[in-house]
């Protein structure tokens, strides 16, 4: 089963996977929701089928509906709350033996239970969208701060070697990670001394 990163390689495929994991849908629905052609939808569905995720069923003509082929995912839940270029999505754990046609335990009041669950979903979706907007803002702040670090380091009177060490000092979450990288990838015999030396030079530049 593919990881969410593999599905997210295509934004359209991610959207389709999210749509058909919430309920079975027709090709026409998927084309309308995604804004791509039916042929384009079929290509993405083929990829999901090759990944072992896609299920297909036919519904016969009934009192209200015409015969239709429906596409769905019943073993995983894909949630897509992406905004713009930012991908915010999750791939739920595999649910063994799950099919959308298997009934769950009967509720004493099915309508009330369905209505409650639907209302919960509306609220949770709203919160997820709000969180995705906040995450986008935080990511933008991270990107801007990284750019400011780069501008500050490049503006210092340091050698290329010292600048690279400065990038490692201020560009990594953990000091021990910077020391390890200096030793393993840059052949630095004394990472601690190198870091202290560069830190002192940076401090001295502001004096």
Residue spans of alpha helices (H) in the chain: 4-7, 11-22, 27-34, 38-50, 110-154, 160-171, 175-186, 191-205
Q: What is the pLDDT of residue 102?
A: 52
Task: Identify whether the C-beta of residue 42 lies closer than 8 Å to the C-beta of residue 20.
Answer: no
When pLDDT is averaged across residues 119-141 and rounded to a whole number, the result is 84
> Between residues 109 and 55, which one has the greater pLDDT?
55
Q: What is the pLDDT of residue 101?
A: 47
Instruction: Give the whole-number percent of the chain exceeding pLDDT 70.
Output: 81
pTM above 0.85, yes or no: no
When pLDDT is averaged across residues 85-105 and rounded to a whole number, the result is 57
For residue 60, report the phi and psi dihedrals to the nearest 5 degrees: -75, 170
Q: What is the pLDDT of residue 44?
A: 93
Q: Where are the domains of the chain?
A: 1-96, 110-154, 156-207
Residue 172 has pLDDT above 80, yes or no: no
What CATH architecture applies to the domain 1-96? Orthogonal Bundle (1.10)
Q: What is the pLDDT of residue 85?
A: 66
């Amino acid at each position: 089963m593919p990881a969410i990163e593999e599905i997210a390689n295509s934004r359209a495929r991610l959207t389709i996977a999210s749509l058909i994991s919430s309920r079975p849908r027709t090709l026409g629905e998927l084309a309308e929701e995604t804004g791509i052609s039916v042929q384009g939808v079929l290509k993405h569905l083929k990829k999901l089928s090759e990944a072992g995720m896609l299920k297909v069923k036919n519904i016969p003509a009934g009192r209200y509906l015409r015969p239709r082929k429906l596409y769905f995912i019943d073993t995983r839940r894909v949630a897509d709350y992406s905004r713009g270029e930012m991908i915010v999505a999750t791939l739920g754990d595999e649910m063994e033996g799950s099919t959308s046609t298997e009934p769950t335990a009967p509720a004493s009041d099915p309508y009330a239970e369905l209505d409650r669950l639907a209302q919960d979903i509306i609220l949770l979706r709203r919160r997820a969208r709000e969180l995705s907007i906040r995450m986008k803002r935080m990511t933008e702040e991270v990107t801007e701060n990284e750019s400011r670090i780069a501008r500050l380091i490049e503006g210092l009177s340091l050698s290329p070697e010292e600048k690279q060490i400065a990038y490692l000092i201020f560009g990594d979450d953990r000091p021990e990670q910077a020391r390890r990288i200096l030793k393993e990838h840059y052949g630095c015999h004394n990472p601690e001394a190198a870091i202290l030396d560069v830190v002192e030079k940076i401090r001295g530049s502001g004096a």
